[in-house]
């Protein structure tokens, strides 16, 4: 059985080196060996998050990290503003409602973005305790301007909480420089690992609002922080995932964040010019994420055969739309270990499948367009 090549917004592809690191002999989380592993991971996570603050490790999905933040910070009746541009913004609303916050939402416009003047007007009027925002709305492929939103929050005394699941390790997330109070991410996207770990970093201001340890919960951030200071976890962690994460973080440090961000940007541009040469329209035209490309499907054509044939013939997995966008868009992920040559390979496979399905395709056209993107970046590097 061949290994499926993932072109989804997550989980992404897991490099062989991560798999091999993950099968090391296990250890115990109360040993010196584990403390050394934990310390290494902590330092490298601070680099990727661009923060001097601790980065907490949770044995959970990203959704678990979201609940950990909400349950640890929110008290009944707290004034909350959520900027929602789709499924994952809505998830913040559901969580805040579950913990009985007084939640108001700002819904993105038809282009999937937020008018910053309107955002400032709402925040200046409501003066919420927290503002929740999703950096990349993975259901639509839009990246939001969290740097500008953070400036608005600071102006009116609100703390900003950012879901950066899809963007940490993919495009710039400068936690300290942008004064982000809480940033969360997870292992299966930019970190090139399987699902199962999530990460949270908090500013000093945010820590002052975290509920004390006597509010006992698996999700209580003060309990997790206390163990973290002792270079361990409050509960038994998934050792194999931590070994794999340690290896992946080494690879990320070696490549360097600027090169990682650039590689993802090139992959995104290759994908988009290629997709358009295939005759498809992008779902949105601006503020596009480097993590994925959302593609509008032709009217009346669900194109389910495209995804089925990519999987059956080439073992390539591309994601469909979610919720109201199911059968209306497809989402091509280019995260983690993905390289421009992988996008070239995907476009080649899409050309062959579409030609077989009877769509008007000129073989090689999308690939040529993507190669021109790569060549342009190579020329610019030589000039520099």
Return the pLDDT at 211: 92
User: How far from the centroid of its chain's Cα atoms is residue 4's Cα?
Assistant: 21
Q: In the structure, what pLDDT confidence band is assigned to residue 1 with cuts at 50, 70 and 90?
A: very low
Q: What is the mean pLDDT of residues 175-203?
A: 98
- Characterize 234-251 residue by residue with b for buried, 16 or more Cβ atoms within 10 angstroms of its Cβ, and e for exposed: beebbbbbbbbbbbbbee
pLDDT tens digits along 9-68: 999 999 999 999 999 867 888 889 999 999 999 999 999 999 999 999 999 999 999 999
Return the pLDDT at 242: 97
Return the pLDDT at 213: 82
Return the pLDDT at 236: 92
Give domain limits for the chain. Answer: 16-255, 256-383
Weakest mean pLDDT among 1-5, 56-60, 229-233: 1-5
pLDDT for 300 beyond 80? no
Return the pLDDT at 110: 84
**Percent of the chain residues past pLDDT 90, beyond the cut:** 87
Return the pLDDT at 2: 58
272 is in an annotated binding site: no
Return the pLDDT at 22: 93
pLDDT for 258 beyond 80? yes
Give the other-Cβ count within 10 Å of 380's Cβ: 9
- Give the CATH number of domain 256-383: 3.90.1150.10
Give the other-Cβ count within 10 Å of 119's Cβ: 21
pLDDT tens digits along 323-333: 888 888 999 99
Return the pLDDT at 29: 83
pLDDT for 384 beyond 70? no
148, 219, 248, 318: CA torsion to nearest 10: -70
> 129 or 29, which is more confident?
129
- Give the CATH number of domain 16-255: 3.40.640.10
The CA–CA distances, whole Å, from 138 to 103, 118, 145, 164, 166 equal 22, 23, 15, 10, 7
- Nearest CA to 47 out of 173, 194, 225 is that of 173
At residue 108's C-alpha, the angle toward residues 104 and 110, to 5°, is 145
């Amino acid at each position: 059985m061949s290994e499926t090549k993932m072109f989804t917004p997550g989980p992404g592809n897991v490099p062989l080196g991560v798999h091999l690191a993950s099968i090391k002999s296990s250890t115990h989380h109360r040993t010196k060996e584990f403390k050394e592993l934990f310390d290494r991971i902590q330092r490298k996570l601070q680099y990727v998050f661009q923060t001097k603050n601790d980065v907490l490790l949770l044995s959970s999905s990203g959704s678990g990290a979201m609940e950990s933040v909400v349950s640890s910070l929110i008290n009944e009746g707290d004034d909350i503003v959520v900027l929602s541009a789709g499924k994952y913004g809505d998830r913040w609303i559901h969580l805040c409602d579950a913990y009985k916050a007084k939640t108001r939402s700002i819904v993105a416009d038809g282009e999937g973005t937020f008018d910053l003047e309107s955002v400032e007007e709402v925040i200046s009027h409501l003066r919420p305790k927290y503002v929740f925002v999703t950096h990349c709305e993975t259901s639509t492929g839009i990246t939001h301007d969290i740097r500008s939103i953070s400036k608005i929050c600071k102006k009116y005394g609100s703390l900003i909480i950012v879901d950066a699941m899809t963007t940490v390790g993919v495009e710039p997330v400068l936690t300290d420089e942008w004064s982000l109070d809480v940033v969360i991410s997870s292992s299966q996207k930019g970190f090139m690992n399987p699902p199962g770990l999530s990460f949270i970093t908090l500013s000093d201001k945010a820590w002052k609002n975290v509920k004390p340890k006597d509010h006992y919960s698996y999700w209580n951030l003060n309990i997790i922080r206390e163990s973290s200071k002792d270079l361990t976890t409050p509960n038994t962690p998934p050792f194999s995932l931590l070994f794999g994460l340690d290896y992946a973080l080494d690879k990320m440090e070696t490549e360097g964040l600027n090169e990682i961000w650039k590689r993802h940007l090139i992959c995104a541009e290759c994908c988009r010019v290629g997709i358009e040469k295939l005759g498809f329209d992008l779902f949105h035209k601006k503020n596009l994420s480097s993590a994925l490309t959302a593609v509008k499907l032709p009217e009346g054509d669900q194109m389910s055969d495209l995804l089925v044939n990519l999987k059956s013939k080439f073992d390539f997995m591309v994601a469909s739309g979610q919720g109201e966008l199911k059968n209306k868009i497809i989402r091509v992920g280019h995260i983690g270990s993905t390289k421009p040559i992988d996008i070239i390979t995907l476009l080649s496979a899409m050309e062959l499948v579409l030609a077989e399905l009877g769509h008007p395709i000129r073989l090689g056209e999308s690939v040529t367009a993507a190669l021109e993107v790569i060549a342009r970046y190579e020329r610019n590097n030589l000039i520099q």
